[in-house]
Amino acid sequence: MMNFKQKELAQLFFEKLKTEFPEIILLGIAEQPDRSIWVKVVTPREDDLEIIEASGKESMDILLNYGYQILVIPFEKVK
């Protein structure tokens, strides 16, 4: 179960990513069995790799500073 700090960091992670990619929509934040945290987003872009790459530095900073692995998981918007 995620603690308060993990939820806070995941939300801030999403908000920072949204400033760079305003078209993304938050689907949810979920802890995985390996204790990583997934920030699931919907994106209209076909190239999700750009969003994943852009989130890499922030994700690494959180891991180094707090010890939590937070990753963005993009889903393409169904048309």
Give pLDDT tens digits for 22-70. Answer: 999 999 999 999 999 999 999 877 767 889 999 999 999 999 999 999 9
pLDDT score, position 79: 61
- How far, in Å, CA of 1 to CA of 19, rounded? 28
List the CATH number of the domain containing 8. Answer: 3.30.300
- CA neighbor of 51 nearest in space, from 76, 79, 29: 76
On the question of pLDDT at 78 being above 80, the answer is no
pTM attached to this predicted model:
0.89
- CA neighbor of 29 nearest in space, from 10, 15, 13: 10
Domain limits for position 58:
4-76
Tokens of 42: 């919907």
Domain count, the chain: 1
Cα 66 versus chain centre, distance: 15
